[in-house]
């Protein structure tokens, strides 16, 4: 378990990192998007409100210019009709020539207005949402009474005033009027915007604020990304592991071949020494005896002694051979017999040799009959036979041009036998060679030991099957391995 | 000194049967054989003055034939060594020759091959021993020459006449003639050709 965890830990850490980075990027994108929308809305709000309050300056200027007569026959002066046109204007007052304002605040404002040559604020009560605006003029000055609630152009408002999370207020000298309550609570991120209205006469500050709570982060997308990252990493890990396993298998295969060669080399060296000693003695003794018999006169007794020595050494050589045979005799493989799916066995062998085939510029083709072909065999022996036959085919194919290299493996059934046919398009087997190819130490290759096919044949008959070789039409050779099918109960 | 009269073959192999059979075979051509089972005993005990050859098995317990060969050559043993092996590889053969083996034969070895190799080796050894002896004698004679006589000898081997030598060494031809007679006597040379053949190399080494 510990081993497994140690292997997984880097992947888990990588996943955490990827998830964190992706989540951060997603959150940042979302926040940026919210901020942009908020700033756009706030600027629209500022423009709309500015446009509205500028109208008040214009109305006052018009009144000051026209100086409508208070002493008309009509019931009321004309300016009293303004509230019906502008809903935010709740009242209009005038100071006639030689008269003075009833309200002291208006008086102060008029003086200020006269000095600044623009309308001046009077009696602003933003908390309650109303204020007055005075413009000094001659002979008559006018004052507008304004209601902030009606100043806001709701029809053009960029947000839904009841549900929007953006809070909009107008502030002036510590007082504030809430245009839109919004939703400001909890932690998270706070975006703010403030700017004076675009008129000097009504220097209110437009304040907008937007609180982004944790809940507004794109959790769904972030979760999706985490899942996607996990899936990608899992796939990557799987691919990597497959590659490693394949490399390991190839390595094992190579090692196996080397080991086999080493064992054979050792065996040959040991055999050579064990046999060469008595053979040397036999040869030397008989040749010495022959020379002594040729002497004039012949040295009969010495020659006889030498011949006796030779006989003894010949026996010694024969003992060595007997010992060797007993040492390398294979244990009965019947004990390890088990049902084996032939197609799987072939596929395994092909999979292992595929890189080797690729290196020699050809691909193998596997044709299988429908349904599984299950034989009784010893898996290791079977694998060795298939492997050797495939290697044989590859070596045959090396002798023909790359474009003509074909290797076809067929799995079929024939009566009570499962048959693997390995057909190559190599140079084929000469007629005089064909009957001898399964003999030990018989080889047509320069560096061959002549043991591969002999071993395959021995193994096949050990499994209760057979191995045959034939010509392949139109060219090449085909080897057929037949093994008894599992008898279904 | 009887040992140097007829050649002696040293045979080293740990296998009794191989050793005795090869010894028997070698003795059929009239060569004397001394057989050794243990390579170390052989190196400690064999007569280095004897004329002959050594037959050495490559594969022996304890110490390999190749390292025995190396040790022999390091110690300046001049007998030719014939290596025998049961399982010879090209690499082993190369190493044997590099280490100074005279011949490399595979077991089982045919009598013709072994005996011919032995006879060739013995002939070479006898010849090289003789040549070495002649060299030593020549050196001893050369050492008896005076400095002036060596100078004269050098100019003689360079092909100068008495007159030319006298001019070169600022001597009268008569004095040169007397040196010449002396050095011919000391070097026991009968002719100019003999003198040059035996002593030219020594003169070159001396100057």
Type and span of the H or E element at B8: strand B8-12
Mean pLDDT of A77-94: 85
Which of A73-77, A302-306, B85-89, B186-190 shows the lowest per-residue confidence on average (mean pLDDT)? Answer: A73-77
Check whether A425 has a pLDDT greater than 80: yes
Q: Which pLDDT belongs to residue B1?
A: 37
Q: What is the ipTM of this complex?
A: 0.72
The CA distance from B15 to A279, in Å, is 12
- Take residue B37 and report the two structure tokens written for it: 């089972």
Distance between A303 CA and the closest CA of chain B, angstroms: 10
The CA distance from A285 to B155, in Å, is 62
Q: CB under 8 Å to A32, separation ≥6 — which residues?
A: none
The CA distance from A67 to A72, in Å, is 12
Mean pLDDT of A136-163: 88
Q: Which pLDDT belongs to residue B2?
A: 39
Percent of chain A predicted with pLDDT > 90: 37
Q: Give the nearest chain B residue to A273 (CA atoms).
A: B86
Check whether B121 has a pLDDT greater than 90: yes
Mean pLDDT of A118-141: 88
Contacts of A319 in chain B (CB under 8 A): none
Check whether A1 has a pLDDT greater than 50: no
- Residue A411's nearest CA partner among A422, A400, A401, A403 is A422
Q: Which pLDDT belongs to residue A275?
A: 87
The CA distance from A371 to A350, in Å, is 19
Mean pLDDT of A71-80: 68
Distance between B100 CA and the closest CA of chain A, angstroms: 24
Alpha helices in A162-218 (DSSP H): none
Q: Which pLDDT belongs to residue B4?
A: 47
Check whether A333 has a pLDDT greater than 70: no
B15 touches chain A (CB under 8 A): yes
Mean pLDDT of A88-116: 87
Could you tell me how many CB contacts below 8 A there are between chain A and chain B?
76
Interface contact flag, B109 A284, Cβ < 8 Å: yes
Contacts of B21 in chain A (CB under 8 A): 280-282, 284-285, 288, 306, 309-310, 313
Q: Give the nearest chain A residue to B20 (CA atoms).
A: A281
Edge to edge, the sheet with strand A477-484 lists: A364-368, A407-414, A417-424, A477-484, A466-471
Interface contact flag, A281 B21, Cβ < 8 Å: yes
The CA distance from B93 to A75, in Å, is 141
Q: Which pLDDT belongs to residue A199?
A: 87
Mean pLDDT of B9-18: 93
Confidence of residue A260 (pLDDT cuts 50, 70, 90): low
Q: Which pLDDT belongs to residue A335?
A: 64
Q: Which residues of A181-212 are buried (b: 16+ CB within 10 A; e: fewer)?
A: ebeeeeeeeebebebebebebbebebbbbbbb
Interface contact flag, A268 B87, Cβ < 8 Å: yes
Q: Is A424:A472 a contact under the CB 8 Å cutoff?
A: yes
DSSP notation for B69-131: HHHHHHTT--S-EEEEESS--HHHHHHHHHTT-SEEEESSPPHHHHHHHHHHHHHHHHHHHHH
Interface contact flag, A284 B28, Cβ < 8 Å: no
Mutate to test the interface with A, among B15, B17, B116 (most CBs of A within 10 A): B17
Count of alpha carbons within 13 Å of A199, Cβ hemisphere only? 20
The CA distance from A38 to A36, in Å, is 5
Contacts of A309 in chain B (CB under 8 A): 17, 20-21
Dump pLDDT digits (tens) for A402-418: 888 999 999 999 888 99
- Take residue A255 and report the two structure tokens written for it: 């090692």
Using CB atoms within 10 A of its CB, is residue A303 exposed (0-12), middle (13-18) or buried (19+)? buried
Confidence of residue B125 (pLDDT cuts 50, 70, 90): very high
Mean pLDDT of A289-310: 92
Check whether A436 has a pLDDT greater than 80: yes
Q: CB under 8 Å to A203, separation ≥6 — which residues?
A: A121, A172, A196, A197
Confidence of residue A2 (pLDDT cuts 50, 70, 90): very low
């Amino acid at each position: 378990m510990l081993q497994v965890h140690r292997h997984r830990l880097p992947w888990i850490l990588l996943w955490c990192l990827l998830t964190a980075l992706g989540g951060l990027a997603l959150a940042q994108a979302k926040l940026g998007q919210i901020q942009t929308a908020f700033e756009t809305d706030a600027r629209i709000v500022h423009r709309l409100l500015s446009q509205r309050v500028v109208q008040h300056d214009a109305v006052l200027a018009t009144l000051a210019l026209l100086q409508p007569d208070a002493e008309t026959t009509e019931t009321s002066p004309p300016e009293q009709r303004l509230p019906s046109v502008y809903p935010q204007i709740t009242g209009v007052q005038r100071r006639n020539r030689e008269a003075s304002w009833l309200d002291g605040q208006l008086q102060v404002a008029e003086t200020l207005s006269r000095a600044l040559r623009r309308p001046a604020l009077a009696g602003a009560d933003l908390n309650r949402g109303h204020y007055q605006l005075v413009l000094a003029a001659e002979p008559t000055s006018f004052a507008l009474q304004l209601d902030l609630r009606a100043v806001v152009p709701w029809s053009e408002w960029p947000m839904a005033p009841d549900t929007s999370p953006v809070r909009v207020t107008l502030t002036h000298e510590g007082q504030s009027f809430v245009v839109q309550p919004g939703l400001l609570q909890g932690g998270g991120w706070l975006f703010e915007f403030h700017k004076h209205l675009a008129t000097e006469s009504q220097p209110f500050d437009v304040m907008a604020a937007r609180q982004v709570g944790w809940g507004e982060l794109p959790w769904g997308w972030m979760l999706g990304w985490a899942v996607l990252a996990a899936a990608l990493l899992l796939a990557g890990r799987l691919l990597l592991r497959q590659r490693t396993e394949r490399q390991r298998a190839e390595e094992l295969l190579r090692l196996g071949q080397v080991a086999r060669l080493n064992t054979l080399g050792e065996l040959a060296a040991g055999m050579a020494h064990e046999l060469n000693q008595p053979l040397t003695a036999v040869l030397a003794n008989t040749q010495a005896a022959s020379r002594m018999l040729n002497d004039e006169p012949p040295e009969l007794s010495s020659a006889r002694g030498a011949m006796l020595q030779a006989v003894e050494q010949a026996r010694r050589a024969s003992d060595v051979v007997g010992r060797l045979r007993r040492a390398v005799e294979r244990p009965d493989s019947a004990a390890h017999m088990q049902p084996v799916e032939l197609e799987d066995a072939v596929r395994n062998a092909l999979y292992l040799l595929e890189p080797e085939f690729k290196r020699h510029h050809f691909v193998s083709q596997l044709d299988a009959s429908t349904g599984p072909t299950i034989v009784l065999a010893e898996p290791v022996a079977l694998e060795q036979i298939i492997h050797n036959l495939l290697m044989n085919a590859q070596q045959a194919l090396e002798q023909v041009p790359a474009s003509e290299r074909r290797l076809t493996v067929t799995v079929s059934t024939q009566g009570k036998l499962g048959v693997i046919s390995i057909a190559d398009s190599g140079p084929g087997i000469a007629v005089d060679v064909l009957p001898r190819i399964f003999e030990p130490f018989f080889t047509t290759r320069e560096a061959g030991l002549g043991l591969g096919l002999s071993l395959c044949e021995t193994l096949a008959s050990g499994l209760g099957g057979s191995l045959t070789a034939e010509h392949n039409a139109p060219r090449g050779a085909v080897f057929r391995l037949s093994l008894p099918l599992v008898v279904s109960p | 000194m009887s040992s140097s009269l007829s050649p002696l073959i040293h045979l080293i192999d740990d296998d009794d049967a191989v050793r005795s059979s090869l010894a028997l075979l070698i003795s059929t051509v009239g060569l004397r054989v001394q057989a050794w089972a243990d390579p170390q005993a052989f190196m400690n005990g064999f007569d280095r003055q004897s004329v002959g050859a050594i037959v050495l098995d490559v594969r022996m317990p304890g110490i390999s034939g190749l390292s025995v060969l190396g040790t022999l050559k390091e110690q300046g043993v001049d007998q030719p060594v014939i290596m025998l092996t049961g399982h010879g590889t090209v690499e082993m053969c190369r190493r044997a020759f590099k280490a100074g083996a005279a011949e490399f034969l595979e077991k089982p070895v045919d009598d013709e091959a072994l005996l011919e190799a032995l006879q060739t080796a013995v002939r070479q050894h006898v010849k090289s021993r003789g040549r070495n002896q002649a060299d030593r004698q020549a050196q001893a004679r050369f050492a008896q020459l005076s400095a002036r006589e060596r100078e004269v000898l050098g100019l003689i081997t360079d092909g100068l006449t008495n007159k030319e030598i006298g001019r070169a060494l600022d001597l009268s031809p008569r004095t040169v003639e007397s040196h010449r007679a002396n050095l011919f006597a000391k070097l026991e040379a009968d002719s100019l050709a003999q003198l040059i053949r035996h002593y030219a190399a020594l003169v070159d080494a001396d100057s």
